[in-house]
Amino acid sequence: MQMGENEKKPKKGYVWAYATTQYNLLQAVIYDFQDKHAEEFLKDWQGHLVCDDYGGYKARFKSGQIIEVGCMAHAHLKFHELHVTGKSQVAEQALVMIQKLYAIEAELRKKTDGTAQHRREYRQQHSQSVMQQLYEWLNQHYLTVPSSSPIAKAINYTLKRWPALSRYLDDGNLPICNNWVENQMRPWALGRKDWLFAGSLRSGQRAANVMTLIQSAKLNGLDPYAYLSDVLKRLPTHKVTQIEELLPHRWKPNSN
C-alpha cells in the first residue's frame, strides 16, 4: 500500500498479519502496518511461526527464539505453476502427493475429536507415510533433473524447507500451511483497490488497529458494527485495568 497521497514520491507501506491458528481457542488476528519489514514486531515473541521462506525471520529461527513451521501451500504452488504452464512433466507427481496430505487434513476434521493429541495421532497414522513418499520422490528427482531447470528449483525449495514442512506432523496444534492467516489479508486486498493510499504511516497504523478489531470480532462470531458500537460507548468510563474485557474474544454485550 502506498503512503503519502500528496507527495511526489509516495512511500511503500507494508501490512503484516499475525493470527492464532484455526485450532486455537483464542481466535484473533493482529495487523501491523509499517514502512519496513516485519521482523521488529516479533522482537520479544517466542513460539511457532508458520510462514513461507521470508528471510527477515531467519535470525529469530537461528537463535531458537522462534520455531519455524513451513507452509505446504507455498511448496504446492511451486509445482502447480510448473504443471499448469507445461514447464515440467513430473511436477504433477508431486502435486498428487501434496494433495493427498490436504485430503487427510480434511478427513481429520471429520474423524477426530478436535484435540491436538488426536490430530497428531491421525497425522502420524495417515500423513507420515505420504510425507515419506514425497521426500523420497524429491531426492530421487533432484539427482536426475537439470540443476538449473524450474523443476529443480521447486524441488530444492521443498527439500531445503523439509524440516519446517514436516513439523506439523508432530504437533497437533500446528496447521499444514498458513492459508488461514493469508485469508485474513483479504479485507486489505479488497480495500486497497478503493483506498489507494494510507496517507501516512500513522494513518496506516490507525487503520490497522481498527481492522484488527473488526476482523477479530468476525473470527469470534460477532457483528463488528454491534461490537464496535458497544465498545466505543463504554470506553470513556471503562476501567483501564479491565480494558482487556473489551477485546473481541472476551467481550460480552452490555446488559444495561
Specify the 3-state DSSP secondary structure of 197: strand
Has residue 80 been placed in a domain?
yes
d(C-alpha 34, C-alpha 56), whole Å: 14
Has residue 105 been placed in a domain?
yes
pLDDT digits (tens, 9 = 90+) for 171-220: 999 999 999 999 999 988 888 777 777 778 898 899 999 999 999 999 99
d(C-alpha 176, C-alpha 100), whole Å: 12
d(C-alpha 256, C-alpha 235), whole Å: 15
Residue 246 C-alpha cell reads as: 473489551
Has residue 251 been placed in a domain?
no
Has residue 11 been placed in a domain?
yes
Structural domain count of the chain: 2
d(C-alpha 131, C-alpha 190), whole Å: 36
Q: Are residues 98 and 157 in the same domain?
A: yes
Has residue 232 been placed in a domain?
no
State which residues form the domain around 142.
72-166
The reported pLDDT for the residue numbered 4 is 56
Has residue 140 been placed in a domain?
yes
d(C-alpha 165, C-alpha 148), whole Å: 23
Q: In this structure, how many other beta carbons lie within 10 angstroms of the beta carbon of residue 146?
A: 8
Has residue 230 been placed in a domain?
no
Residue 5 pLDDT > 70, yes or no?
A: no
Q: Are residues 141 and 100 in the same domain?
A: yes
Q: Which residues touch 117 (CB under 8 Å, ≥6 apart)?
A: 172
Q: Are residues 83 and 129 in the same domain?
A: yes
- pTM beyond 0.85: the answer is yes
Q: Which amino acid is at 76?
A: H
Q: Are residues 60 and 77 in the same domain?
A: no
Q: Are residues 29 and 84 in the same domain?
A: no
Specify the 3-state DSSP secondary structure of 149: coil
Q: Are residues 55 and 80 in the same domain?
A: no
Residue 110 pLDDT > 90, yes or no?
A: no
d(C-alpha 3, C-alpha 195), whole Å: 11
Q: Residue 10 carries which DSSP code?
A: P
d(C-alpha 193, C-alpha 89), whole Å: 38
Q: Are residues 130 and 199 in the same domain?
A: no
Q: Are residues 100 and 51 in the same domain?
A: no
pLDDT digits (tens, 9 = 90+) for 7-56: 567 788 889 999 999 999 999 999 999 887 777 788 889 999 999 888 88
Nearest to 51 by CA among 177, 175, 188: 177
DSSP states along 150-187: HHHHHHHHHHHTHHHHHGGGG-TTS-SSSHHHHHTTHH
Q: Are residues 143 and 189 in the same domain?
A: no
Q: Are residues 40 and 116 in the same domain?
A: no
Burial label for 50, CB within 10 Å (0-12, 13-18, 19+), is buried
pLDDT digits (tens, 9 = 90+) for 146-163: 999 999 999 999 999 999
